[in-house]
Amino acid sequence: MHHIEHLSRLLFRSHPAARFFALICVKILSVWITSSLSTAKTPTLAALGNFDGIHLGHQRVIEPIFHPADLRLRSAADFLWPTVVTFDPHPQEFFSGQRRTLLTPLPEKATYLEALGVKQLVLLPFDQSLANLTPEQFVEQILKQQLQARLVSVGQNFRFGYKRSGTTEDLKTIATQSHIEVHLASLYTHEGDRISSSAIRQALAEGQPQQASALLGRPYALMGEIVSGQQLGRTLGFPTANLSLPPEKFLPRKGVYSVWVEGVRGESRSLPGVMNLGDRPTVSGTQLTVEVHLLDWSGDLYGQTLTVHLSQFLRPEQRFNSLDELKAQIQTDCEQARVQLTATSKG
């Protein structure tokens, strides 16, 4: 219960959608999450970075905390905490004053980290005092004294300390003096290009979820609670479920997607569906909505927390001259999605 109470307080501080996050808490009990170094579990094997997306490149940085090269660390693994250390807020957000959208808001990030085997997520409060630490002070105060790190894993392009003055070579030099093993993860590439959160964002913004999936190592997902909507879909013969998302969630290009939906109560498998992301111009919509129609399924989804995995972009959002035209297009969308998803599942 302490895990739930601690996580709930942490989430409610940053997110107003308290009920949604309370539901998510149940799914991540095995990950200890703290924004206070005084409550961090120590000693640690720590992967350090921003990790928005937990993509394949991030996973390469995280992997060494489970399999350290040092035999002494391996023998002591039962007494060490595999820990991901990240910054909250993102340093760019702190310095620019502009809120960033996230590929993986906190509940999602914790869910993916749990699946990898991470036992602790430390959210370092990024403020001016942290930004002012020299590389030497960061290693001594944060890594050595507070986290009691025995190993630190970072990407080759990692920078730290005042004005990002510390390089990975600096980290190795300083940390070695404190008897901290340093692992530098090589850059991970896909088709010759470096995998990055920026590249994933670009692919999603261009309506290329399959490209984003290749970089993430999994389909891009939207996770949220089903809330009541205008129920227009029911009148057209295609009932839809409205997905409520965290306000900081990064959204892909507006339009229609084929999707797999996970978490439907009573269903152990993922269900095929069609998702519309947009303002619904045909019915004079004024608010961005995420609506999901499950193919060949009926039931009540209200209040359930679902995960929608993007499969393929079908078409951009468009305005129709009548509801009959809209209904006909939705029918076409469903048929196209069914064919595409069937082919994907067989492949």
Q: What is the mean pLDDT of the chain?
A: 87
Domain 2-193 and domain 204-346, same fold? Reply is no
Q: Is-cis flag, bond preceding 219, omega within 30?
A: no
Distance of alpha carbon 237 from alpha carbon 331, whole angstroms: 9
pLDDT at 137: 98
pLDDT at 280: 66
pLDDT tens, position by position, 127-186: 999 999 999 999 999 999 999 999 999 999 999 999 999 999 999 999 999 999 999 999
Q: What is the token pair recorded at 344?
A: 């994907």
Nearest in space to 280 (alpha carbons), one of 209, 334, 231: 231
**Which three-class secondary structure state does DSSP give residue 255?**
strand
Distance of alpha carbon 167 from alpha carbon 97, whole angstroms: 25
pLDDT at 237: 61
pLDDT at 15: 41
pLDDT tens, position by position, 51-104: 999 999 999 999 999 988 887 888 888 899 999 999 999 998 999 999 999 999
**Which three-class secondary structure state does DSSP give residue 338?**
helix
Q: How far is CA 160 from CA 32, 89, 163, 313, in A?
A: 24, 15, 8, 38
Model confidence at 13, pLDDT cuts 50, 70, 90, reads very low
**pLDDT above 50 for 214:** yes
Nearest in space to 203 (alpha carbons), one of 195, 194, 212, 191: 212
Q: Is-cis flag, bond preceding 89, omega within 30?
A: yes
pLDDT at 4: 39
pLDDT tens, position by position, 231-243: 555 555 678 899 9
Model confidence at 320, pLDDT cuts 50, 70, 90, reads confident
pLDDT at 319: 86
Which CATH number applies to 2-193?
3.40.50.620
Model confidence at 228, pLDDT cuts 50, 70, 90, reads confident
**pLDDT above 60 for 3:** no
Contacts of 135 (CB under 8 A, 6+ apart): 160, 161, 162, 165, 166, 170, 171, 174
Q: Report percent pLDDT > 90 for the chain.
A: 71
Model confidence at 6, pLDDT cuts 50, 70, 90, reads very low
Distance of alpha carbon 8 from alpha carbon 22, whole angstroms: 6
Give phi and psi for 98, each to the nearest 5: -110, 130
Residue 272 is given by DSSP the state: E
**pLDDT above 50 for 2:** no
Top pLDDT among 305 and 30 is at: 305
Domain positions in the chain: 2-193, 204-346
Distance of CA 54 to the CA centre of its chain: 6
Domain 204-346, second-level architecture: Beta Barrel (2.40)
pLDDT at 190: 87
